[in-house]
Structure 1
Amino acid sequence: MQETDTIYESRHGWSARNAAVLAIAVLMTAGTFLIDPSQTTVWLQILTLLLFGGGGTVIAYNAISKKVALRVDATGVLLGGAPLRYRATTVLVPWSEIAGVELWIQYSAKKLPYVGLHRHPDLPPLPGGRSRIGAAAVGKPAALVAASRAVNGWRLNTPALLAAIHHHAPTTDISIDLNFPTKI
């Protein structure tokens, strides 16, 4: 098997979910212009434009950008960053810092799958990490939440991801939520 066969990479792109959300954003934005100005306030129209127009723009930009969402190779695991702060929040976690990989689901709002890394204790936090409040909301350790990425706006092939992890770090502990999907 060649080394390139064991690299797992997934990029942001179009999915049914983000296309549907973008369609709703476009409809809401267009609807703002169709409403009689005497029937609403200008602030409500501005808020709708900012929320749905801005949100739709971010979704479209993220899908079109094709930026790396997740990559597993010999150097470690690259966790792709947030769309508007991609460089600042993208981080490569070397295998020497990884104690385990957890494929988990956020059940608190909707069933949103995550790929997370358990890092060795006493390491500095990753850039762009999420708050402890967010960790408490999902019932996971703050360090895991900070080193996790939601599978949203990109596709995940769980068997291929696991094969790459086993190839590059065969002794790494892997835990998988029983309801975690095989392909997303």
Structure 2
Amino acid sequence: MVEPGGEYEIRFGPTLKGLGALVVGLIGCASCALPSGMTGIPIWFRVIFGILIGAATAGTLITMFSRRVALRIDANGITLTTGPLFPKSGLLFAAWPEVEAIVLWKQPSANNMPYIGIRRRHDIQKSKPAAHWKRIIALAGAPHIPSDLAAHSHQINGWRLDRARLTEAVGHFAPEVEIIEID
């Protein structure tokens, strides 16, 4: 139950999916360090692959242990952020008067990656223009999602969404805002 004045906040942290990615990344890095005679893979390919997989593994580690806020619902509105590698570019805030609905959806082309998005009221000017690249990704990977919704969405990745607490917090701070699930 959300207490009066209480907010719902989720931080990035270790998840089963993140730990799996970390293990795969560490195995990939270790395989690049094996002598060429054991693998038969050219050294130049192992160096490039090692750098790429090492960077991805480092990004996963940084995200898992940053403890940065991923989602916050309070009296002011809803705040969504991306991981710590791109802190300012991924900040998305909407005050409650701007919010028509909170939409939970999945991107089928990305193994049903879950997303949370903000559907803004049509009569209110958007506070921050949506990134053009998000619209392109949405059209390619989730054609069933309107591009303006996709542009104001973030992946639920590196943190867990508690739908019951989400419903309680939204009901407490903005009972007129719907929570919609799109399959």
TM-score surpassing 0.5?
Answer: yes
Superposed CA deviations along residues 24-80 of structure 1, whole A, max 9, x for unmatched, are: 101110110104179333331222112210000000000110001111111111111
Of 132-141 and 169-178, the range deviating more from structure 2: 169-178
- 1:124 shift after superposition: 5.3
1:60 aligns with 2:61: yes
- 1:94 shift after superposition: 1.1
Cα 1:155–1:131 change in 2 (3 A) is closer
Superposed CA deviations along residues 120-179 of structure 1, whole A, max 9, x for unmatched, are: 23525446564322111202111111111111110110010011111111111221236x
TM-score normalised by the chain length of structure 2: 0.87
Alpha-carbon RMSD across the aligned residues, in angstroms, is 2.0
Provide the residue aligned with 1:152 in structure 2. Answer: 157
**In the alignment, residue 30 of structure 2 is paired with which amino acid?**
A
**In the alignment, residue 42 of structure 1 is paired with which amino acid?**
I
Alignment: residue pair count: 176
Provide the residue aligned with 1:138 in structure 2. Answer: 142
Provide the residue aligned with 1:107 in structure 2. Answer: 108
Cα 1:128–1:83 change in 2 (3 A) is farther
1:49 partner SS: helix
Structure 1 stretches of at least 4 aligned residues deviating more than 3 Å after TM superposition: 124-130
1:21 partner SS: helix
Contact 2:92 2:152 in 1 (8 A): no
1:98 aligns with 2:122: no
Provide the residue aligned with 2:9 in structure 1. Answer: 9
Structure 2, unaligned runs of 5 or more: none
Contact 2:12 2:68 in 1 (8 A): yes
- Partners in 2 of 1:174 and 1:119 — Cα distance? 13
**In the alignment, residue 32 of structure 2 is paired with which amino acid?**
T
Contact 1:82 1:90 in 2 (8 A): no
**In the alignment, residue 166 of structure 2 is paired with which amino acid?**
L
Provide the residue aligned with 2:118 in structure 1. Answer: 117
Contact 1:22 1:59 in 2 (8 A): yes
Of 65-74 and 138-147, the range deviating more from structure 2: 138-147
